[in-house]
Chains A and B, each alone.
Chain A
Amino acid sequence: MPGLSTGDEGPSTVNAPRLELEHITKRYGSLVANDDISLAVQAGEIHSVLGENGAGKSTLMKIIYGAVRPDGGQIRWNGEPVHIRSPHEARALGIAMVFQHFSLFDTLTVAENVWLGLSRELTLREVTEGMRRKAEEYGLELDPRRPVHTLSVGERQRVEIVRALLADPKLLILDEPTSVLTPQAVDRLFVTLRQLAATGCSILYISHKLDEIRSLCHKCTALRSGKVTGTCDPTQETTASLSRLMIGSAPPKLLLREPRLGRRALEVGDLSLPRLDRFGVSLEGISLDVREGEIVGIAGVSGNGQQELLAALSGEDPRSQPSTIRLFGSAIGGTTAGERRRHGLHFVPEERLGRGAVPTLSLALNLLLTRKESLRALGWIDKGALRKQTAGILNRFRVKSSGPAAVARSLSGGNLQKYIVGREIDAVPRVLIVAQPTWGVDVGAAAQIRAELIALRDSGCAVLVVSEELEELFEVTDRLYVIFKGRLSPPIATHAATRELIGEWMSGLWPAEPAAVLGEAR
């Protein structure tokens, strides 16, 4: 093991590490998810586990948290060998975990949610008090009496963190915690985590965001295909060198040319839609336009109406007044997704399995969701043509699969996303709407998808990207809107925007009178 970090809040004792993994191995059938993984986390250390999707990070964390048992290897806790058989035993040792997907009941209050998950010894009042104290101690704003459905995603994460802190953990595991936060909220989270580490709690921080790891973590272990590819001090590394550790090469640079604008392709004028259920978001007076040859982005923290807006634009929610949505001038508001697609509007949804693709059907049959080239008279499916068409897309977009007959469910998230994006790009759309183009996709595939979007733009297609990743929007878009509580900000040219400005807008603080601040928004 290389020398320990010497950061001022870093570990001071040279005793046994808080957590030590030795030669951990886990197989699922022929797939080796974790192959001989060893790492050590000292007391008070913020240790990052870096890796692409499918690198084995989640499996490793589940092993530490007792949710999965390893096939081989040894776990030491403060130097003592331990067998962690269940999350219950992990918690008894002092291990807490904040998952990527929150497990909160919407209809209960914050305190009730936390109380439900605890053993029966404490009363609701004691839990409420305890949460209030913990929140205060770490400067986290949190009202335990609020119902969960009124909380933003960032606030829900805070609930999960305070829930974890209540047990006074010795090791806190965080799984991709920043994917749902505004830049400002990320900064606040990091303050809390540093404070926590200073009290001696170790933190395992799982992420693929290299900038965050460099600014937060003392030490970093990189995984690739289930193996450790390196251990380093991330503060001494560059983003490029970390990227090499993670994917074996530096991410390719994107070339952005000046957009050549054509006709107005997609126009939304004063679109308002009441929400469909209690926990949805109503859209209020949304106006936007996308022209041929440009990529327009919509930024925003998740749950601010992105889902509702996308469903209204794609036609999955056909309640809109006809004239509120126009495609090349013609009113398409009340039409279904199929009709809009016939007019050249294609859409890549955020959920890949179950919406963008049917999990149990083959890739070839999934092509028929949006493509009709292989259909003959009366809807007869020309199987040969369909297989060829699918193989062409798999090849062009470098989708790793066993071929057109592979069922959608068997693909990794990144590969399925490449397939779905490929299916829609290959259709030569006139307007393409993409939600979260690279969510959960590894760095290499993300770069490929972004390059394809830009190539599509350069060929004259109008592209609308809805994403929660600001870096991505700054990288590919020409203009930006921000969505907050069902309202849309005025547009701003991406080159005129800063992270701080967009971050403020993501909290709804955009100027009422746009022209003065925005400059030339093309």
Chain B
Amino acid sequence: MIELEARTAPSLWMSILSPIFALLITVGVATLLFLSLGKDPVRGLSVFLVEPFHGVRALTELGLKSTPLILISLGLALCYRSNIWNIGAEGQYLLGAIAGGWLALAVTNAGIDLPRWIFFPIAILAGALGGGLWAAVVALLRDRFHASEILVSLMLVYVANLLLSYLVFGPWKDPNGFNFPQTVSFSASTELPRLLRGMRLHAGFLVALGTAVGMWIFLFRMHRGIQLQVGGPSPAAARYAGFSSRSALWTTLLVSGALAGVAGAFEVSGPMGQLTPYVATGYGFTAIIVAFVGRLHPLGCVLASVLLSMFLIGGELAQSRVGLPSALSGVFQGVLLFSLLACDTLILFRPRWRRPA
């Protein structure tokens, strides 16, 4: 019989090992799933675990997919450390995409020939404003009316989705686009600077990595960062110290909204090159898993983003190579999060074998 016994102190080792255990469990479930579907598990696993890392192109694609996940999950980690449950990053991401799309559209329609390194920072700004604005609605409703930020942020995802649909089905629709819900393709001057010739990986990846470093400094080296993290686990201690909970609410939501918005702006002017309903990829929701798998730590968020990108790319490959639905990556994401939460029990508890009495 196994019993759980409370540890005297949380285990540091387990907090590092728990994501690895969760990954192993997910691989185990994947093996069983492949076997039960009559597919070769070795082939199936290699599509998920090996091919996304095979070759320069695969690696740059991995970086490309990681970029929005890193940006969004960093903001969410800040929120969750402060006990602000923003789960509507998808909506903030879409608003960033809309703002970035609006900017690119304006530049395209005006026929201005901007150098890419000038457009790039303006696009970041537009995305940040769009996402930040959407998150500000959440902050305002929570601040003024004590509305639950969980519900408000989630509901605003649907509003953002409808807004995007309205724009691409209506005023922003490409008049020569055979009635497809999409804008015109943006001009070359709105493309993001590429990091390698011939690859889609763009400078946004560096921005994401830089943001991770900045977030680490903010969280662990700045007084403001510590203040935000006091309010999460111990609101009474924050009141005692005189740290404002309102300012924590606004700061975390605006920062996470802005980061999600930047991710959205990168997506439309980077890989997509036009605004379509398919901008809504679910990165905002996947990033929630990333943030937790990454232990709400900036470095962890980067590593977990790569891991989850691997699942996303693996899912696409599985469809073409092995003939399995790409929804499989969603299944694996879910299994990973569930097993992570289960393994996290071991951080605070120690399993003990006990002979039945």
List the interface of chain A (C-beta within 8 A of B). 28-29, 31, 83, 85, 314-316, 336-341, 347, 349, 351, 354-361, 365, 368-370, 372, 375, 378-381, 383, 407, 409-410
Top-9 shortest CB links A-B = A338-B242, A379-B223, A337-B242, A369-B241, A355-B236, A316-B239, A354-B234, A358-B234, A336-B242
Task: Say yes or no for B272: interface residue by CB 8 A criterion.
Answer: no
Q: Can you give 30 contacting A-B residue pairs, CB < 8 Å?
A: A316-B240, A336-B244, A337-B239, A337-B241, A339-B242, A351-B236, A354-B234, A354-B237, A355-B237, A355-B240, A356-B237, A357-B237, A358-B229, A358-B233, A358-B234, A358-B237, A359-B234, A360-B233, A361-B230, A369-B240, A369-B241, A370-B241, A378-B222, A379-B222, A379-B224, A380-B221, A380-B223, A381-B226, A383-B221, A409-B9
> What residues of B have a CB within 8 angstroms of the CB of A314 in the complex?
240
A410 near B242 (CB under 8 angstroms)?
no
Contact A369/B223 with A339-B242, A355-B240 known, Cβ cut-off 8 Å: no
Q: Which of B8, B229, B234, B236 has the largest count of A CB atoms less than 10 A from its CB?
A: B234
Task: Say yes or no for B21: interface residue by CB 8 A criterion.
Answer: no
Given contacts A316-B239, A355-B240, 10 further A-B contacts (CB under 8 A): A341-B242, A347-B240, A356-B237, A358-B229, A358-B234, A379-B222, A383-B221, A407-B9, A409-B9, A410-B9
> What residues of B have a CB within 8 angstroms of the CB of A28 in the complex?
8
Contact size range, B? 20 to 34
> What residues of A have a CB within 8 angstroms of the CB of B237 in the complex?
354-358, 369
In the complex, how many angstroms separate the beta carbon of B186 from the nearest chain A beta carbon?
A: 38
Q: Could you tell me the distance between the alpha carbons of A407 and B8 in the complex, rounded to whole angstroms?
A: 12
> What residues of A have a CB within 8 angstroms of the CB of B242 in the complex?
315, 336-341
Q: Who on chain B is nearest to A335 by CB? A: B242
Q: Could you tell me the distance between the alpha carbons of A378 and B222 in the complex, rounded to whole angstroms?
A: 8
In the complex, how many angstroms separate the beta carbon of B221 from the nearest chain A beta carbon?
A: 5
Name B242-273 residues within 8 Å CB distance of A.
Answer: 242-244
> What residues of B have a CB within 8 angstroms of the CB of A379 in the complex?
222-224
B223 near A368 (CB under 8 angstroms)?
yes
B8 near A31 (CB under 8 angstroms)?
yes
> What residues of A have a CB within 8 angstroms of the CB of B234 in the complex?
354-355, 358-359
> What residues of A have a CB within 8 angstroms of the CB of B229 in the complex?
358, 361
List the interface of chain B (C-beta within 8 A of A). 7-9, 221-224, 226, 229-230, 233-234, 236-237, 239-244, 357
Q: Could you tell me the distance between the alpha carbons of A355 and B233 in the complex, rounded to whole angstroms?
A: 10
Q: Could you tell me the distance between the alpha carbons of A354 and B221 in the complex, rounded to whole angstroms?
A: 22
Contact A381/B240 with A28-B8, A85-B357, A358-B234 known, Cβ cut-off 8 Å: no
Q: Could you tell me the distance between the alpha carbons of A355 and B240 in the complex, rounded to whole angstroms?
A: 6
In the complex, how many angstroms separate the beta carbon of B250 from the nearest chain A beta carbon?
A: 16
Q: Could you tell me the distance between the alpha carbons of A355 and B243 in the complex, rounded to whole angstroms?
A: 12
Contact A29/B226 with A337-B241, A369-B237 known, Cβ cut-off 8 Å: no
In the complex, how many angstroms separate the beta carbon of A242 from the nearest chain B beta carbon?
A: 30
Q: Could you tell me the distance between the alpha carbons of A31 and B243 in the complex, rounded to whole angstroms?
A: 37
